[in-house]
Amino acid sequence: MKKNDLVVINLDRPRFLRYGHKALKKLTALTDMDISKMDMSNFKLEDLEKVLYCGLLSDAKENGETLKLEDMEDLLDQAETFKEIMEKLNESFEKAFGAAKGEEKN
């Protein structure tokens, strides 16, 4: 796992959020969403759980854990704020796909 594409999110413990090919493939299978047309502003909470679940799977595997989708509700409740969850999700998607057009960092 490349360390420069990881985003740390503090839940029950610091966890790495990452969207590589495997996570994105699982995400499209779980949600039937087209990655190129994903709009986080229209996510239902159940969709958000699925998105974060897919991004956390490699961290769970590296730590010898079995993460289940059913665990996400309780796991996300351990975040400091919902705002932090959304910020970390946005950051991890930026790392996966690059900055949005017109938002490149100088």
pLDDT in tens, 19-60: 999 999 999 999 888 777 776 667 788 889 999 999 999 999
Q: Per the domain annotation, does 8 fall within a domain?
A: yes
**56, 40, 60: which is closest to 48 by C-alpha?**
40
Residue 74: domain span: 3-96
Q: Per the domain annotation, does 18 fall within a domain?
A: yes
Q: What stretches of 21-78 adopt beta strand conformation (E)?
A: none
Residue 55: other Cβ atoms inside 10 A = 27
Q: Per the domain annotation, does 103 fall within a domain?
A: no
> Has this prediction a pTM greater than 0.75?
yes
State how many domains the chain has. 1
Burial track 10-49 (b if 16+ CB lie within 10 A, e otherwise): ebeeebbbbbeeebbebbeeebebeeeebeeeebeeebbb
Q: Per the domain annotation, does 105 fall within a domain?
A: no
Q: Per the domain annotation, does 104 fall within a domain?
A: no
Q: 1-20, pLDDT tens digit by residue?
A: 556 779 999 999 999 999 99
Q: Per the domain annotation, does 32 fall within a domain?
A: yes
